[in-house]
Structure 1
């Protein structure tokens, strides 16, 4: 099923002391882009959240906002990088000997080495809440997908109506093109006989008409446009993300419509081309919302 790139999902999970809320919002974007706001202790699960969301979202700008509320007081843990501290100590000792300096090094000095002495949240408590947070992400993503699919179905219905209208315009243009060729031949024959009288024969008239008809022939363009319409309808019914492919097909449709407009000399065909381009623009606007 076609999915819209616009959607919203919210999930709230409750533990004994903490409420975890996750909101996911998506809007149109050419590719996929993430913007995440996570509580500080959980910034490390950013990549895991992206992997989970990848099952639900293939394209769009994704905003994830996760919050914690309640009486959460995780125990602190002191993490010490002894190897780094040893390196610092050795450097200070060597620098003192090299330059005849008195180090005066104290434990307090070592505590100020941010990279080596770090206070972190209790890993067990963070791990438990991270699991709850991931459950909320999955739940919010499922609700988001449900909304995107529902919106996508509405878009698909509108697109099918527009593409059917465009198909009718192409069929009208085909019929009108056949009529226009006959009318043009008759006008040309009349004009030539008025100018040359009996000095020009039917063979010459047919030759002149064929030359002009070849320059103004739009049958190939109409055939290609009809083919693009068929591809569009087929792609729209396929599974998975279809927006970018449909956008490319629309570009090809617009190219053929422009060529038909430039070659066609019949006023009725020109009017049909204007209607075609209006319908193609409606398709383009709607397709911008599809994943």
Structure 2
């Protein structure tokens, strides 16, 4: 059954060390694009998170937000990199001398430099020790969003199936109407020629040739046969237990091409009206297909 590409999921995993909170949001996208926002201390296991999510969510723009809270929320005393601080202090004093500047070097300036102060707890973290707990939260979030995408997919399936049946009904009306057009054209042409020739006899051979040429130009049998084939493939795709969004999008393009050809061939007002209805309904189908995984 088809799934939507839009959804939201949330997962949590708690241990003695702390708590992981994971949120996943997904929207439409032509391909599968996964991005992760997580604490810098856990960046080494980012690919493990992407892999776990990608095994379930195959398509869409997927944003993952990961929050880590240490147990107890106790503050830790940072550690100072003395050598790095001395290097910054020497650099600043040298620059001040070169620029002819005087005054004391503020301690805050040195402490503000990257790497001078380090979180003592984070320095001891081995990211891979936390991976099982993180994946537990990720899998819970993935299961939630996958369920939501599945429920939205059921609504998409119902809507697309209904619209496809309506389009097929109108296409059948085109097929029923098309054979009658040549006969009506013959009658109209014969009447007009009779009026123009003021009652003189019309050459039946020439009339038959003209009608045959018109019927050939307006013949949409091949287009209707291909359209029916696309309908069947569309119905089959809707029931597949795999991502079919791209296949449905391709089929919509092919269906639209056949309908455009029917419209360009037809000079009959009734068929033209049906083609307009079909194209309007297919545009709504195309918009829905854009959200299918």
TM-score by length of structure 2 reads 0.80
- Paired with 2:68 and 2:224, the residues of 1 have a C-alpha distance of 59
Residue 98 of structure 1 corresponds to: none
Partner SS, residue 241 of structure 1: coil
1:11-160 to 2 correspondences below 5 Å: 11-69=11-69, 70-71=71-72, 121-124=123-126, 126-160=127-161
1:106-255 to 2 correspondences below 5 Å: 121-124=123-126, 126-196=127-197, 197-255=199-257
What is the aligned-residue RMSD (CA, Å)? Answer: 2.6
- Paired with 2:269 and 2:226, the residues of 1 have a C-alpha distance of 22
- Paired with 1:59 and 1:139, the residues of 2 have a C-alpha distance of 19
1:253-272 to 2 correspondences below 5 Å: 253-272=255-274
Per-residue CA shift, 1:43-88, capped at 9, x if unaligned?
Answer: 1111111111121111100110010124367999x9xxxxxxxxxx
Q: Displacement of 1:192 after TM fit?
A: 2.8
- Paired with 2:186 and 2:35, the residues of 1 have a C-alpha distance of 64
Q: 1:131 to 1:72 in 2, by over 3 A?
A: farther
- Paired with 2:229 and 2:58, the residues of 1 have a C-alpha distance of 28
Q: Displacement of 1:212 after TM fit?
A: 1.1
Q: How many residues align?
A: 255
- Paired with 1:186 and 1:219, the residues of 2 have a C-alpha distance of 22
Per-residue CA shift, 1:195-239, capped at 9, x if unaligned?
Answer: 345553322211110011111222222222222122211111112
**Kept in 1: contact 2:2–2:242 (CA 8 A):** yes
- 1:276 aligned residue (269, 278, 285): 278
Per-residue CA shift, 1:128-173, capped at 9, x if unaligned?
Answer: 3332111111111111111111111110110000000000000011
**Kept in 2: contact 1:5–1:26 (CA 8 A):** yes
- Paired with 1:150 and 1:163, the residues of 2 have a C-alpha distance of 20
- Paired with 2:182 and 2:285, the residues of 1 have a C-alpha distance of 31
TM-score by length of structure 1 reads 0.80
Runs of 5+ consecutive residues of structure 1 not aligned to the other structure? 79-113
Residue 107 of structure 1 corresponds to: none
- Paired with 2:182 and 2:288, the residues of 1 have a C-alpha distance of 36
**Kept in 2: contact 1:75–1:121 (CA 8 A):** no
Q: Displacement of 1:33 after TM fit?
A: 1.1
Runs of 5+ consecutive residues of structure 2 not aligned to the other structure? 80-114
Q: Displacement of 1:190 after TM fit?
A: 2.2
**Kept in 1: contact 2:36–2:50 (CA 8 A):** no
- Paired with 1:26 and 1:233, the residues of 2 have a C-alpha distance of 26
- Paired with 1:203 and 1:231, the residues of 2 have a C-alpha distance of 44
Partner SS, residue 71 of structure 1: helix
Q: 1:285 to 1:24 in 2, by over 3 A?
A: same
**Kept in 2: contact 1:4–1:155 (CA 8 A):** yes
Partner SS, residue 279 of structure 2: helix
**Kept in 1: contact 2:163–2:285 (CA 8 A):** yes
